[in-house]
Amino acid sequence: MSTNKNKIIVIYKSKYGSTKRYAQWIAEEVGADIFPLNQIKLRDLEKYDTIVYGGAVYAVGMLGISALRNSFSKLAGKKVVVFSVGASPAYPEAMASIQANNFSDAMKENVHFFHLRGGFDYTKLNWLDRTLMMLLKLKIQRKSEDLRTGDEKGMLAACQTPADWTKKEAIKPIVECIVGDKAPQ
Ligand SMILES: Cc1cc2nc3c(=O)[nH]c(=O)nc-3n(C[C@H](O)[C@H](O)[C@H](O)COP(=O)(O)O)c2cc1C
């Protein structure tokens, strides 16, 4: 699907590639320009009507989201769509916590927000992420099994076996939002 009705840009920040893959799928589907966050300046956004931002989630923080938060007031009148990418599935509590930790009040009201499931391969992590994961693993392992959340159990399992949850059909609601005219919910 491609739309020429308005000018769309997809911007992303990814460490290990899942967010970048989703950004590429979305840009391809809607016929958007696509850039990593570090190649974009605020003034570059003037010519776009729709701005899509994808950021990977690390310790509940979305990569690069401060750039959007800081310039959000300058984007009035544009449609802003944000998607986070994490190991967690897109259930309401996980999404609410990502929003609470990363969005300003104005963003909570005006951004169309989605969450997509990425991937996790412990063997490919850099030393810092590996150390953080080891600490997280130890913390979870100290809890008795019946007190571990679904996410915590999932994280322990993913440390044993690499997982790739990315799938192209997951972008469908985002594509519909970009080409549609629904207000943020
Ligand atoms: C140190 C570390 C912390 C993470 N924290 C979270 C988290 O808080 N929530 C989550 O859903 N996923 C978390 N993840 C998983 C990543 O979000 C997931 O691997 C995602 O696909 C990474 O996207 P990227 O490949 O674009 O960098 C974490 C991964 C690492 C290595």
Bridge partners of 113, per DSSP, are 82
- Summarize pLDDT for 11-25 with one digit per residue, the tens: 999 999 999 999 999
CA 35 – CA 12 distance, rounded (Å): 7
- What does the pLDDT read at residue 1? 47
Per DSSP, the three-state class of 49 is: coil
* Distance separating alpha carbons of residues 97 and 172, to the nearest angstrom: 23
- What's the gap between Cα 8 and its chain centre? 17
The reported pLDDT for the residue numbered 181 is 80
pLDDT of the residue at 118:
96
Substitution site in 120, 124, 149 for ligand 1 pocket (most atoms within 8 Å of beta carbon): 120
- Sorted by where each starts, the structural domains of the chain and their CATH numbers stand as 8-120+165-179 (3.40.50.360), 122-161 (no CATH)
Distance from the alpha carbon of residue 33 to the mean position of ligand 1, in angstroms: 25
Q: Of all protein residues, whose CA lies closest to atom 1 belonging to ligand 1?
A: 129
From 10, 12, 24, 57, mutation site for ligand 1 pocket: most ligand atoms within 8 A of C-beta? 57
Give per-residue pLDDT as tens, 132-143. 999 999 999 999
- Report the pLDDT value the prediction gives residue 124, as an integer from 0 to 100: 95
Cα within 13 Å of Cα(166), Cβ side: 21
Q: What's the pLDDT at 5?
A: 53
Atom of ligand 1 nearest to the CA of 15: 27
User: Helices 127-142 & 150-160, crossing angle to 10 degrees?
Assistant: 130
Would you say 106 and 79 are in contact if contact means Cβ atoms under 8 Å apart?
no
For residue 98 the two structure tokens come to: 């990502």
Residue 155's pLDDT is 85
User: 3-state class of 79 per DSSP?
Assistant: strand
Whole-prediction pTM: 0.93
Report the distance separating Cα 133 and Cα 162, nearest Å.
Answer: 14
**Which residue lies with its CA nearest to atom 19 of ligand 1?**
120
Q: Where are the alpha helices (DSSP H) in 76-181?
A: 92-102, 105-110, 127-142, 150-160, 172-179
Amino acid identity, position 9 = I
Per-residue pLDDT of the chain (185 residues; tens, 9 = 90+): 444 457 999 999 999 999 999 999 999 999 999 999 999 999 999 999 999 999 999 988 999 999 999 999 999 999 999 999 999 899 898 899 999 999 999 999 999 999 999 999 999 999 999 999 999 999 999 999 999 888 888 888 888 999 999 999 999 999 999 998 877 77
